[in-house]
Amino acid sequence: MSGPLIRVSHLSKAFPASDGVPVAAVNDVSFEVARSEVFGLLGPNGAGKTTTLRMMLGLMQPSAGDSTIDGVSVAAHPDQIKRRVGFVSTSVGVYQWLSPREMLSFVGDLYDVPPDTVEQRIRKLTELLDMKSYIHRRCGVLSTGQKQRVNLARALMHDPPVMLLDEPTRGLDIVGSQVVFDFIQHLRGEGKAVIICTHRLDEAERFADRFGLLHNGALLHCGTLAELQQETGAATLTDMFLQLLNEPASEGTAS
């Protein structure tokens, strides 16, 4: 299809507070992500990044607004979203008693991928993520970096057009982080639309095409690095966020 694969339109989420005044975790957030584009949704802990992703996945109902994934409204058809999205998060683990190969085969079956295609994708992902040496070992004995590779493969087994990665390098060493960077480049080359939520600004500059700077639930700046530099007057993403963190928070907004 033509046009953006991801369109987020005026997405908001407020939670009730003990004093009766709603607290806005996400406030009127809008952005788009095109095919073969990597979008970095950046912000400190508590900025609203994960809440935004959960609403985009249909796991949390927004207070206002909607998202479309590959032309499908999340609000109208949440049951159709999981087949269009691959999701990687530290909150989504591996099956400890299965081997990576068994787990990938199981996921392929869940998405009704034909058996021959399942085998082809397992071979391709095993090579892509260099998992051959432990593809038959139980996931429970794998290292953090190895488990993350299995999670990356899992998210791609049904070949979704959109990938959402929430803090994909958390807990990884430099080698594991590089595997994630290479994987992101592969996704871009395959025409996926990719959103990566992270507070690692130095890493984001390496792989994202455009950035959204989220602070206190609001998307304050959105664009390429050059556009953000011109808009904020700061040289790096780190400098931009230091500016944001020194600005007063909006009343009634979660930190």
Q: Are 123 and 235 within one domain?
A: no
The amino acid present at 203, given as its one-letter code, is E
pLDDT computed for residue 247 by the predictor: 63
Please give the backbone phi and psi of residue 149, each rounded to the nearest 5 degrees, phi first.
-65, -40
- pLDDT tens digits for range 190-229: 999 999 998 888 889 889 999 999 999 999 999 999 999 9
Q: Residue 2 pLDDT > 80, yes or no?
A: no
Residue 223 is part of which domain span?
Answer: 6-84+161-246
Residue for token pair 């996921």: 107
Q: Residue 255 pLDDT > 70, yes or no?
A: no
Averaged pLDDT for residues 151-177 = 93
Q: Are 155 and 209 within one domain?
A: no
Q: Are 186 and 222 within one domain?
A: yes
Q: Are 37 and 70 within one domain?
A: yes
- Determine, yes or no, domain membership for 1: no
- Determine, yes or no, domain membership for 89: no
Q: Count, in order, helices (H) and strands (E) of the chain.
A: 8, 10
Q: Are 145 and 165 within one domain?
A: no
Enter the pTM of the model.
0.91
**CATH at residue 230:** 3.40.50.300
Q: Are 166 and 71 within one domain?
A: yes
- pLDDT tens digits for range 31-54: 999 999 999 999 888 889 999 999
Q: Residue 182 pLDDT > 70, yes or no?
A: yes
Confidence bin at 244 (pLDDT 50/70/90): confident
- pLDDT tens digits for range 219-235: 999 999 999 999 889 99
Q: What is the number of structural domains in the chain? A: 2
Q: Residue 253 pLDDT > 90, yes or no?
A: no
Q: Are 129 and 224 within one domain?
A: no
Q: Are 51 and 67 within one domain?
A: yes
Neighbours of 79 (CB within 10 A): 8
Query: Which of 109, 134, 159 is the C-terminal boundary of a domain?
Result: 159
Q: How far is 58 from 56, CA to CA, in rounded Å? A: 6
C-alpha angle 149-155-158 in degrees, rounded to nearest 5: 130
Q: Which residues of 235-255 are buried (b: 16+ CB within 10 A; e: fewer)?
A: eebeebbebbeeeeeeeebbe
Over the chain, what is the mean pLDDT? Answer: 91
Q: Say if strands 210-215 and 218-223 run parallel, antiparallel, or are unpaired.
A: antiparallel
Confidence bin at 251 (pLDDT 50/70/90): very low
Q: Are 239 and 165 within one domain?
A: yes
Averaged pLDDT for residues 77-90 = 93
- Determine, yes or no, domain membership for 80: yes
Query: Which of 107, 141, 159 is the C-terminal boundary of a domain?
Result: 159
- pLDDT tens digits for range 94-132: 899 999 999 999 999 999 999 999 999 999 999 999 999
Token pair listed for 164: 């959402």
**Residue 15 in contact with residue 51, Cβ under 8 Å?**
no
Query: Which of 159, 183, 214 is the C-terminal boundary of a domain?
Result: 159
Q: Are 26 and 152 within one domain?
A: no
